[in-house]
Structure 1
Amino acid sequence: MKKAKGILVDDSLSEYQEIARVATRTALEAYEVPEGYRDRFTLRTVFEGDIRIFELYVPGEGPSDAALISSARVHVRTRRAEVQVFNLEKRKHC
């Protein structure tokens, strides 16, 4: 981390975001993503100790109507990601 104007900045955030993006994309392959969802995905980043959490939402009409799609937790020390998927149906295998 580096300090910018008195604020600590995590200069590795883009690295963690890329780890989360790849892990999330892989996790979502097992699920049906409704038409139009991907174009509306909104990313939220949360800092929780040594973990960076990247949450994908589909916005609703109001904040309480937003649908959480996935949560990718990236561990800063190990750079490993754990992804949970919500509000989507698993793909049916033929």
Structure 2
Amino acid sequence: MGGGDVIEIEKFRKYARCIGLLFQAVDDILDMTKSSKELGKTAGKDLVSDKATYPKLMGIENAKKFVGELPSQAIQELTYFEVEKAAPLNHLAAYIASRKN
């Protein structure tokens, strides 16, 4: 997929932005809702260090709603590309949205 034209590059940029936001929002939610044992790392660190997180800024339910919307936004950017080539990136969006730790 290297050597893309301006449109392709912009589509990938938008996809990457959605994926980055998705990963962070899921991470923030997990930090608030899972135990350290479930996460494999110390839970609640964001709250203790008073970080600006999606649940803190939006509320937990709105953060979850945001996470529910981002995969389809990311995948929408990939509809420009051949289905077979975009498939791994589509799966990545779904995986990040459903991760448990």
Fold similarity call, TM over 0.5: no
Flag the structure with higher strand content. Answer: 1
Point out which structure has higher relative CO (alpha carbons under 8 A, 6+ apart).
Answer: 2
Which structure shows the bigger proportion of residues in helix conformation?
2
Q: TM-score, normalised by structure 1?
A: 0.33
TM-score (norm 2): 0.31
